């Protein structure tokens, strides 16, 4: 039986107008909505959606079709929210969501660490057997400093106020972490590049300082902040690779679903580790360059920070379930 357009309007227009008015009111004062209002609105939306499907095929181009298409698009703005969630608040995020995600992706963090060590050993070997090549990695300023028996980090105590170096270091480290994470969106290639460059650079620096007998001062400088800084950057690289893996490997699941899950997990890893760089910025700006602080104390601080991060990330006090 063919539905007549006039009859369609006569039967359904009241519902559309009611839905439009209620939607408008709900948007104006969303907090005044109670459960019954919301249920009625949702029920009406469902009917509007069905009418839209009908009008789309039976009465295309008509006013009813136009109005229903608009209402079908307007409705979800108020009535639906994407289920993607980071957890029930910041406390839950840091105490449950991040640790469970970190544990889930621990094998990838281990792979990233192994790759970083490999690149580091490569840099160390290059700088040891060919110091000239190693010097080309660290730049002319550091090269001149090393030749005259000074570390380039000395300027942190001589020419730059600690507050400035601290905030610059924190923002620089966060940029590196964010770039390592976002690089995952380029199928992980840029993340791997950052991992390679940083590993090679660190290995070269160690090799060069050993060559110029400056390893002691370097260790003294990095002892307080180095271990955790490297860990956080490696976690960011692992987050980038989680993102990349979701772009490449989908198996038989819908790609959009896998992408969303990967993006969310990688965001959790990044969000849980990034705040530590603020702490490290402070340590690197105020503690690391100070010659008055004994090296033993700096090393103890560095190891304590690392242990604290690992305790927080692995969180043995929560159940080992996905997403807490």
Partner 1 sequence: MATSPTEQHRSTGRSLRGRDPEDPIPSDQILGLDNIALELPIAGIGSRGLAVTFDYLCLTLLLFTIVAAVAFAADGPLDSGLMIGSLVLLVFFVKITFFLVQELAFKGCTLGKKMLLLRTVGTSGGTASTAQLIVRNLLRPIDLIVAAPLMALDPKARRLGDRLAGTLVIHDRPLMERASLGRVPAGWGPREVAVAESLLARRGELDPDQLRHLALRLVRLVQRDDPALLQESPVPEVDPVAALRQALAAS
Residues 87-146 binding partner 1 (CB under 8 A) are none
Q: Please count the residues of this chain forming the interface with partner 1, following the rule CB under 8 A.
A: 77
61 or 140, CB closer to partner 1? 61
DSSP state of 5: H
User: Coil, strand or helix: which one is 319?
Assistant: coil
Positive or negative: CA dihedral 44, 49, 50, 54: positive
- Residue 240 lies near partner 1 (rule: CB under 8 A): no
Token pair of 158 as six digits: 């001589």
- Residue 61 lies near partner 1 (rule: CB under 8 A): yes
Nearest distance from residue 313's CB to partner 1, in Å?
A: 20
Q: Binding to partner 1 (CB under 8 A): which residues in 262-321?
A: 262-264, 267, 270-271, 285
252 or 292, CB closer to partner 1? 252
Pairwise CA distance, residues 24 & 15, whole Å = 14
Nearest distance from residue 212's CB to partner 1, in Å?
A: 31
44 or 143, CB closer to partner 1? 44
264 or 283, CB closer to partner 1? 264
29 or 316, CB closer to partner 1? 29
Nearest distance from residue 211's CB to partner 1, in Å?
A: 34
Nearest distance from residue 62's CB to partner 1, in Å?
A: 5
Token pair of 258 as six digits: 């896998």
Q: Binding to partner 1 (CB under 8 A): which residues in 183-222?
A: 183, 185-186, 190
Does residue 119 contact residue 203 with C-beta atoms inside 8 Å?
Answer: yes
Does residue 197 contact residue 204 with C-beta atoms inside 8 Å?
Answer: no
Backbone angles phi, psi at 43, to 5 degrees: -65, -45
Region of residue 28 (left: phi > 0; alpha: psi -120 to 50; beta: else): alpha
CB atoms within 10 A of CB 324: 18
Nearest distance from residue 100's CB to partner 1, in Å?
A: 15
124 or 264, CB closer to partner 1? 264
Does residue 201 contact residue 116 with C-beta atoms inside 8 Å?
Answer: no
């Amino acid at each position: 039986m063919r539905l007549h357009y006039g009859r369609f309007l006569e039967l359904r227009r009241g519902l559309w107008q009611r839905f439009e008015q209620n939607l408008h009111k709900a948007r104006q004062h969303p907090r005044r909505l109670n459960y019954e209002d919301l249920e009625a609105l949702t029920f009406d939306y469902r009917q509007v959606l069905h009418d839209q499907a009908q009008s789309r095929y039976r009465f295309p181009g008509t006013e009813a079709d136009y109005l229903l298409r608009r209402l079908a698009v307007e409705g979800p703005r108020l009535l639906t929210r994407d289920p993607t969630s980071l957890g029930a608040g910041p406390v839950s995020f840091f105490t449950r969501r991040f640790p469970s995600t970190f544990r889930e992706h621990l094998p990838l963090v281990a792979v990233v660490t192994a790759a970083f060590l490999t690149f580091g050993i490569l840099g160390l070997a290059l700088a040891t057997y060919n110091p000239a090549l190693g010097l080309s990695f660290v730049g002319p300023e550091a090269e001149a400093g090393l030749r005259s028996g000074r570390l380039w980090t000395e300027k942190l105590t001589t020419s730059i106020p600690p507050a400035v170096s601290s905030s610059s270091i924190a923002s620089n480290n966060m940029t590196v972490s964010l770039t390592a994470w976002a690089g995952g969106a380029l199928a992980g290639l840029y993340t791997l590049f950052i991992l390679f460059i940083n590993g090679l650079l660190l290995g070269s620096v160690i090799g060069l300082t050993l060559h110029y007998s400056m390893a002691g001062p370097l260790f003294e400088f990095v002892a307080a902040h180095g271990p955790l800084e490297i860990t956080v950057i490696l976690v960011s690289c692992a987050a980038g690779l989680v993102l990349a893996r979701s772009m490449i490997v989908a198996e038989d699941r819908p790609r959009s679903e896998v992408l969303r899950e990967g993006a969310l997990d990688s965001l959790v890893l990044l969000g849980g580790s990034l705040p530590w760089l603020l702490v490290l910025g402070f340590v690197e700006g105020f503690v690391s360059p100070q010659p008055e602080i004994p090296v033993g104390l700096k090393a103890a601080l560095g190891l304590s920070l690392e242990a604290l991060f690992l305790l927080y990330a692995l969180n043995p006090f929560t159940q080992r379930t996905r997403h807490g």
